[in-house]
Structure 1
Amino acid sequence: MNFKVQLDTLPIFRQVGKIADTMGLETYVVGGYVRDLIMGRPCKDLDFVCVGSGIALATQVSESFGKHVPLSVFKNFGTAMIKLDDYELEFVGARKESYRTDSRKPLVEDGTLQEDQERRDFTINAMAICLNESRFGELIDPFNGLKDIKRKIIKTPTDSNITFSDDPLRMMRAIRFATQLNFDIDADTFDGLIQNAERLRIISGERIIDELNKIILAEKPSYGFKLLFASKLLHQFFPEMVELQGVDSVGDKSHKDNFYHTLQVLDNITVFTDDLWLRWAAIMHDIAKPVTKRFNQKVGWTFHGHEDKGARMTPSIFRRLKLPMDERMKYVQKLVRLHLRPIALVSDKVTDSAVRRLLFDAGDDVDDLMKLCRADVTSKNNNKVQKYLANFDKVEQRILEVEEKDHVRNFQPPVSGEEIMSIFDLEPSKIIGELKEDIKEAILEGQIQNNKEEALQLLYRLAEKRGLKSK
């Protein structure tokens, strides 16, 4: 297949090829760039392989650009990198690898192009295009990667058991590529996933979660989770999500499969957002249903308190999965805790006080909370779905009206603790917090407006009841 036109759109390929010719190095662009070029996908990462020293080639290429293009050399790995505008150019010598059973870190030796292609994870990533003048644009595809792109298949270039046992992270990559590209996984390759699933345990949590987050950010992340579940990979690092799967029945009463419901919510929320942490909130929103599940003879299956229990489970799950233990975790935790609150506001009998409390508790995340609630509406009955969504329209309108009137989203008490101490000549004490809490409650209950004048009037009344006198 002739790639001259496509390759010539980036002058760097001719430049690298000419330098490689002067150095007598057989040189190729390989891997993901070739795959994405064939598929018409954008790619800013360019990987170059030469039969010889990749560092030496990178040094000459860097010098050809002048001093303004920095070169990073990683001698321990035999690689070098150049950052050029929006592109990252990585250079390495062709190599072959062997592995020990207790590590994914290979023993590396110099090798041929064929040996370098054999060590790559999938056929679609094992193609190379020659950059030398005499063969410029020639595609080298020993494992039929081009054919597998047309067939939309993820397949290992050699025995999948060896590929995955050598480097178990490749199993996560297989599912990530299948999800991102909407490809199937070859039957023998998928069998290799199942056979080697437990090998994933030698991989660091950081590497696993990096691949999982890429799956979550895909256009249809549920596909990836179904593959993770079927291959038993999910069982190795996220047992709480595995526990969601299944349906219990007593007589004619059963509950929905909360695993597939969660995946539907996750897919639903991708319509509203590409924010990773809102998508994580969708994954976590029902995570505590298995541990709160009870059967009641009158009403059937219940999951009382699963929102609070799920919020309490969130930090330990994030910590174990090597997810960030910062404001992002707290954001997910908040949405999990609040995800049932908005539906309770549908009734016309709900007071403004309840709306104010939701606004206060959700703060600036109330809009994301409503997105999660809308995504949580899953039913095969379209009329029921439309009814629930119409109810959420009413809730959102009510929230807008109350917020416009009362301005309670993220409000700070109109009177600070320092002012209370100054007015009544008090030292820091429990009573300061109690007075602030009473003012906050009065605002949320609609007893006073959210302004300083009314807050101070209330403060003086509260202080008088406690026997406090102003200076």
Structure 2
Amino acid sequence: MPTAAGAPTPAQLSAIAALVESARPVSDELGGRFAEHGRELALVGGPVRDALLGRPSHDIDLTTDAVPQRVLELVDGWADSVWTVGIDFGTVGVRKKNLQLEITTYRSESYSPKSRKPDVAYGTDIEGDLLRRDFTVNAMAVRLPAGEFVDPFGGLADLRAGVLRTPGKPEDSFSDDPLRIMRAVRFAAQLGFDLAPEVADAARDMAERLTIVSAERVRDELTKLMLSPDPRRGLGLMVDLGIAPYVLPELPKLRLEIDEHHRHKDVYEHSLTVLDQAIELEHARGHEPDLVLRLAALLHDIGKPKTRAFEGAGRVTFHHHEVVGASMSRKRLTALRFPKDVVSDVSSLVALHLRFHGYGKGEWTDSAVRRYARDAGPLLERLHILTRADCTTRNRRKAAALARSYDDIERRIAALAEQEELDRIRPDLDGNEIQEILGLKPGPEIGKAYRYLLELRLENGPMEKEAATEALRAWAAEHLSS
């Protein structure tokens, strides 16, 4: 039972009742089914926490004293479908009508010093199960079908205080599953909570243990952090607690040493500010949280440490840092096992993020604007946001001038797109027509001719077929003569 300090308020009791109600027929039918056979069943973890916070939750996580084989027997004839992918870890998946739930046997799990997979042992009581959970705010439960609130470790009090604390010693918790170190900073970003001092100290001291956790599990936590309402909070904790070197080692390296003779913008703080501003623009433009955009905003300048050079009069340069940064982004995200399309899109945005700075006050020709849009392709809207977010100058006049210039380029792109469907630009003659006009079979010469016509289209806009044919023949006479 909860301590007095953690007693639910009437509003929170209503939230618990609403959670039980939302889980029907699980709460009544399945809870009753387990009780009839002398087994316990309880809602646990995130759904309980979110209900008490007034946050929406689409998960139904259940815990029980029944071992997995017994769970399968108890849901037989009740569940519409069952899956056993996680049964080795004590979890049975169940679907009932439109509800999808996971039922996990009371358990404890731990990592041996060099193992990447936990050893699982089943428990017999709910308090022991809650003790092995990551944080007290996730160690609360609601027994079914009675609806009794269970909070043996003061999770409700920590929820009210906005503090992440472990049910037992944090060193034991992080040793059992080092990924909880990443979960701590992720929940800080997701919920806006602080780490209890002892949790922060343990995370700092044990950060190296993350090296035994699979890249996929680390990636999943980093993804949730990046998609949270305040990723900067979690990323800052990763750097301050020494976690980042084992996840994103490039991030703390952005803290470049600056001396009085060679001044330049703090790249680390600049990158976090760009991320903040990209998120603001993401919201302002009506977009959902975008992992690709947010990763690109965070990583857009990671090539600067490798390209920094000192020149005369205290000048610092970072020539080609976008090229180097694109390569570094690809390497890091690949190592973290991000999907290939995410890796490709983020590295492309990093490579493109400086392109706009040649625009000046609108000196680009229409062909240059077309190339800008063509090179961005489906990433154009993200590039718009990233480029705007990359302006962190405190000089209001300069910031306003950059904003006007980018307003202008967006206007021109929209106008050109309306005129000629810019996102589907193709040469005025296709490959078959090129072969027929030049009397050639498929081969490298056709590719060269195609690229020539594409450049011609970008330079001049759409051409009539006769004009394109004449231009192609003239080009071929000069470049393809035997």
Deviation per residue, 1:381-426 (Å, 9 max, x gap): 4454333222211221222234344554442222233322222322
Counterparts of 1:19 and 1:314 in 2: how far apart (Å)?
52
When the two structures are superposed, what TM-score results if normalisation uses the length of structure 1?
A: 0.90
Distance 1:399-1:343 versus aligned 2 partners, 3 A rule: farther
1:54 offset after TM fit, Å? 5.0
Q: Tell me the equivalent position of 1:256.
A: 265
Superposed counterparts of 1:316-335, under 5 Å = 316-325=331-340, 327-335=341-349
Distance 1:223-1:348 versus aligned 2 partners, 3 A rule: same
Deviation per residue, 1:222-255 (Å, 9 max, x gap): 111001111111111221222112342242x411
Counterpart of 1:206 in structure 2: which amino acid? Answer: E
Which residue of 52, 70, 95 maps to 2:81? 70
Q: Tell me the equivalent position of 1:117.
A: 130
Is the Cα–Cα contact under 8 Å of residues 94 and 100 in structure 2 kept in the other structure?
yes
Counterparts of 2:53 and 2:83 in 1: how far apart (Å)?
30
The reply on whether 1:92 has 2:104 as its aligned counterpart is yes
Question: Which range moves more in the overlay, 343-352 or 205-214?
Answer: 343-352
Q: Tell me the equivalent position of 1:393.
A: 407
Deviation per residue, 1:306-363 (Å, 9 max, x gap): 11222233332222121122x3322222211111112322324332232122122222
Counterparts of 2:362 and 2:89 in 1: how far apart (Å)?
66
When the two structures are superposed, what TM-score results if normalisation uses the length of structure 2?
A: 0.89
Is the Cα–Cα contact under 8 Å of residues 109 and 176 in structure 2 kept in the other structure?
no
Counterparts of 1:405 and 1:71 in 2: how far apart (Å)?
54
Counterparts of 1:43 and 1:449 in 2: how far apart (Å)?
52
Question: Which range moves more in the overlay, 108-117 or 52-61?
Answer: 52-61
Superposed counterparts of 1:424-443, under 5 Å = 424-443=438-457
Counterparts of 1:466 and 1:61 in 2: how far apart (Å)?
74
Gaps (5+ residues) in structure 2? 1-7
The reply on whether 1:458 has 2:471 as its aligned counterpart is yes
Is the Cα–Cα contact under 8 Å of residues 109 and 119 in structure 2 kept in the other structure?
yes
Is the Cα–Cα contact under 8 Å of residues 99 and 107 in structure 1 kept in the other structure?
no
The reply on whether 1:50 has 2:64 as its aligned counterpart is yes
1:366 offset after TM fit, Å? 2.1
Superposed counterparts of 1:30-429, under 5 Å = 30-53=44-67, 55-57=69-71, 59-64=73-78, 69-73=80-84, 74-103=86-115, 104-132=117-145, 136-251=146-261, 253-271=262-280, 272=282, 273=287, 274-298=289-313, 300-325=315-340, 327-405=341-419, 407-429=421-443
Deviation per residue, 1:150-172 (Å, 9 max, x gap): 00111111111111122101111
Counterparts of 2:463 and 2:333 in 1: how far apart (Å)?
37
Distance 1:303-1:19 versus aligned 2 partners, 3 A rule: same
Question: Which range moves more in the overlay, 453-462 or 186-195?
Answer: 453-462
Distance 1:194-1:162 versus aligned 2 partners, 3 A rule: same
Deviation per residue, 1:19-60 (Å, 9 max, x gap): 122111233221112111111122222222223335424543
Counterparts of 1:55 and 1:37 in 2: how far apart (Å)?
30
1:187 offset after TM fit, Å? 0.7
Distance 1:336-1:452 versus aligned 2 partners, 3 A rule: farther
Counterparts of 2:358 and 2:157 in 1: how far apart (Å)?
54
Counterpart of 1:112 in structure 2: which amino acid? Answer: D
Is the Cα–Cα contact under 8 Å of residues 58 and 91 in structure 1 kept in the other structure?
no
Aligned residues: 460
1:208 offset after TM fit, Å? 0.3
RMSD over aligned CA atoms reads 2.3
Deviation per residue, 1:78-98 (Å, 9 max, x gap): 331212344322223323445
Counterparts of 1:76 and 1:467 in 2: how far apart (Å)?
65
Question: Which range moves more in the overlay, 434-443 or 258-267?
Answer: 434-443
Counterparts of 1:100 and 1:402 in 2: how far apart (Å)?
61
1:18 offset after TM fit, Å? 1.5
Counterparts of 1:310 and 1:454 in 2: how far apart (Å)?
42
Counterparts of 2:246 and 2:352 in 1: how far apart (Å)?
29
Helix, strand or coil at the partner of 1:239: coil
Runs of 4+ aligned structure 1 residues displaced above 4 Å come to: 405-408, 466-469
Counterpart of 2:128 in structure 1: which amino acid? Answer: E
Counterparts of 1:231 and 1:56 in 2: how far apart (Å)?
43
Deviation per residue, 1:67-109 (Å, 9 max, x gap): xx11223543333121234432222332344542223512413
Counterparts of 1:58 and 1:151 in 2: how far apart (Å)?
39
1:432 offset after TM fit, Å? 2.8
Counterparts of 1:268 and 1:216 in 2: how far apart (Å)?
14
Distance 1:405-1:33 versus aligned 2 partners, 3 A rule: closer
Helix, strand or coil at the partner of 2:265: coil
Distance 1:431-1:109 versus aligned 2 partners, 3 A rule: closer
Is the Cα–Cα contact under 8 Å of residues 58 and 82 in structure 1 kept in the other structure?
no
Is the Cα–Cα contact under 8 Å of residues 94 and 113 in structure 1 kept in the other structure?
yes
Helix, strand or coil at the partner of 1:161: helix
Helix, strand or coil at the partner of 1:24: coil
